[in-house]
Amino acid sequence: MDLHGPLGLERKGGGRGKRFLRLSTLSSTMAALTLLGLSAWTAFLPLPLRQDAPISLTPTPPRDQLTAEVSPPTSGNEDAPIKTSGPQDGANVRRTTTADGNVVTTFTPGGRKGPVIIGTSTTQDPRLAGQPNEDLIERAAEGDLPTVSASGLRPFDFYARPWSGARGTRIAIVVGGIGLSQTGSQKAIQDLPEDITLAFAATGNSLQRWMQDARRKGHEIILQVPMEPFDYPANDPGRGTLLAEKAAAANLVNLHKAMAQISNYTGIMNYMGARFLADDKAMDPVMRDIGNRGLMFLDDGSTARSLSGDFAKAIGLPHAYADVVIDSQVDRQAILSKLDELERIARRNGQAIGVGAAFDETIAAVTDWRNEAVARGIEFVGVSALANENRP
């Protein structure tokens, strides 16, 4: 229709316009149908895109249950519980493969036998303190001898009494002669605080029983080996004494016989031995054997001519010197005076070592004085804690 023409009148050729309109309408309709068909075909056409993983219908573990994803196990039995690695673990562990291929590890509490012990694998479990570590034993003709394990663990480390690691004032007191007297040995083990080190005489009796009692009580222990004094044989340390003039092989046999009397000790301490300790030829094989077995050497400090420290530095042997013999006079007041001297040395140097014997007077004085010294801020440690490592 011509909007500018008179009403009721049409331009010439109006029919042609109507035909053009019908053709246009038909084209538009066909185009719309084509577009609609193309859209439908596109919607159903699969595209080369990553598809999401199928939804797993495996129930989700409760929120209070600890889970963690881990690499798939190599064994074919994924649902079998895994045995825990030791008595300190106490957890049940189960791995399950879900429908989507993931592996879920579930930890649940398990029953425990005995208390939980927190420590390291390089120190002895206190519950087993009376038993030796089989990895630290060498079977020899003289008996069971201490040795370094295949992994490098030393008796010096494994049997050492744990301590705080703090660098305050530290004192170690060694009470020796355990095994020489039944009543003295029993009194020392029962009455002395557990942080006092006990030295067992290789010539004593019932040493294995006393060792187990001492270790279960918590004491660190060392072994006293008899060595030749200057006035030998008038002054005889006992059977199996290491002698300066003896062949190295003979001294090593006697050393090994002494070592085999007990186990669970951190080191060797001389019993007498002023002459032997001053002889370099006699000392050399003995000190090397002690070092190769992963032990320390404690020199009681009774002779200024001792070569033990020089050998220790040369071969990398853990070593310590005693600073004070606390009971050279077996009298309570004299012992307390020596203990006060020991404390002065410790406060000056940071540490000190005192040695004595299992006399009744020594045991009583050490027990009382130690309790007072603890209140003054002194830490008492096993003697191994104060040894110089002398590592190369």
Band the pLDDT of 300: cuts 50, 70, 90: very high
* Band of residue 236 on the pLDDT scale cut at 50, 70, 90: very high
* CATH T-level topology, domain 134-386: TIM Barrel (3.20.20)
Per-residue pLDDT, 391: 77
| Model pLDDT, residue 40 | 52
pLDDT one-digit tens code per residue, 34-46 = 555 555 544 444 4
Separation of alpha carbons 224 and 246, rounded Å: 19
pLDDT (tens digit per residue) in 310-348: 999 999 999 999 999 999 999 999 999 999 999 999 999
pLDDT for the residue 34:
59
- Tell whether omega for the bond before 193 is within 30 degrees of 0, i.e. cis: no
The band of 165, judged by pLDDT with boundaries at 50, 70 and 90, is very high
Structural contact between residues 221 and 264, judged by C-beta atoms closer than 8 angstroms: yes
Higher confidence at residue 252 or residue 62?
Answer: 252
- Top-confidence residue, 306 or 122: 306
116 pLDDT above the threshold of 70: no
Nearest to 239 by CA among 221, 210, 219, 261: 261
Residue 258 has pLDDT above 80, yes or no: yes
DSSP character string of 9-66: ---TTHHHHHHHHHHHHHHHHHHHHHHHHHHHHHHHSPPS-PPPPPPP-SPPPPTTSE
Provide the total of helices (H) and of strands (E) in the chain, helices listed first. 10, 14
Q: Which two tokens stand for residue 215?
A: 């270790």
Domain residue spans in the chain?
66-109, 134-386
**Are 222 and 318 a contacting pair, CB within 8 Å?**
no
Q: DSSP state, 210?
A: H
pLDDT at 124: 82
For tokens 């003979």, the residue is 250
**For 332-385, what is the HEC assignment?**
HHHHHHHHHHHHHHHHHHCEEEEEEECCHHHHHHHHHHHHHHHHCCCEECCHHH
CA 312 to CA 301: how far, in whole Å?
15
